[in-house]
Amino acid sequence: MNIIETSNLTKKYGKKTVVDNISLTVKKGDIFGFLGRNGAGKSTFINMITGIIQPTAGSFKLLNETNLNKVYQKIGVLPDYSSFYDSLTALDHLKFFARINGHKLSSEEGISILSQVGLEGDADKKAGKFSFGMKKKLGIAQAIAHNPELIFLDEPTSGIDAESGLKIQKLIRQLQAEGKTIFMTSHNLNEVEKICNRIAIMKDGSIINQGTLEELKRHYMSSYQIEIKHSLFASEKTDLVPQFLDSIGTDIVTKGNTTSLIVESEDKIPYIVRAFTHNNIDIFKVNVNEPSLEEIFLDERNREKQIS
């Protein structure tokens, strides 16, 4: 089931196009990572599909509904920290906003939610005394307080310490395990790589690529570097295996029981494995060096520089 569907969604301010004909789908249970530099249009896109601003063109559905009024109570959004009331405590915030979303929250339930983001000791502290990081945690707690099906998290771990960031990542995985769908933006590419099962990369208002991390890696990789740990070549096999490797790859180096080479396609890997085993050479480990999400993102930025 598609939880988010957009079709040619566009937002213009005068002659400037901020979001340009975006069509994407997010399925139930996805942790969908939305990447792009500042000014790429990510926040504008989220603001459109959560009803904060109106699209210039295109359409969208959330939870299979085009009328947001029918699904608002099933959606959670990490708010801007400035939307908090300085005179309300953390617990009062959760109760207040949960009630707005049609959910009556007990004090015990509220404290339990605050503990999930590391604020259990600050339940009675007024938001006006919170640091930026604490407000970010309170915003996440507020987004999930009414038990929504779809949760939007804009930079959920920015401005908080590393330990708290890991706790938030664990919470996001837990929410997914409960059947919820999470749509998140982040500048922490390592974080996105660890927890998101689908990713879209946005540039100048358009999505330039999307898919699973594996699909993005395949798209951006032109070659694969393979390292094989194996038993020593028997003397009569010394020429046979290297000859085969020469026919299938390049930059072949064998040192003792380790051989490395470069191939153009991962489809070559099974042939290499069969060649070793056919010649009675045991394989202990095969490592394929693949680009990280950060390397993919940086490669895209380098392409921009080359074009410009």
DSSP structure class, residue 78: -
- The confidence score (pLDDT) of residue 305 equals 45
Please report the pLDDT score of residue 107 as a whole number: 94
Name which of 207, 161, 162 is nearest 32 in CA terms.
207
Give dist(CA 179, CA 181) in Å, integer: 7
Domains of the chain with CATH codes? 2-218 (3.40.50.300), 222-289 (3.30.70.260)
In the predicted model, residues of the chain with pLDDT beneath 50 are 305-308
Paired strand residues for 31: 182
Per-residue model confidence (pLDDT) at position 307: 41
**Per-residue pLDDT at 306:** 42
What is the pTM (predicted TM-score) of this model? Answer: 0.76
- Give the H or E element holding residue 199: strand 198-203
pLDDT at 279: 85
How far is 78 from 183, CA to CA, in rounded Å? 11
299-304 — which CB contacts under 8 Å span 24+ positions? 299/220, 300/201, 300/203, 300/208, 300/209, 300/220, 301/37, 304/203
| Buried/exposed 166-182: b ≥16 CB within 10 Å, e otherwise | ebbbebbeebbeeebbb
Q: For residue 151, what pLDDT is reported?
A: 96
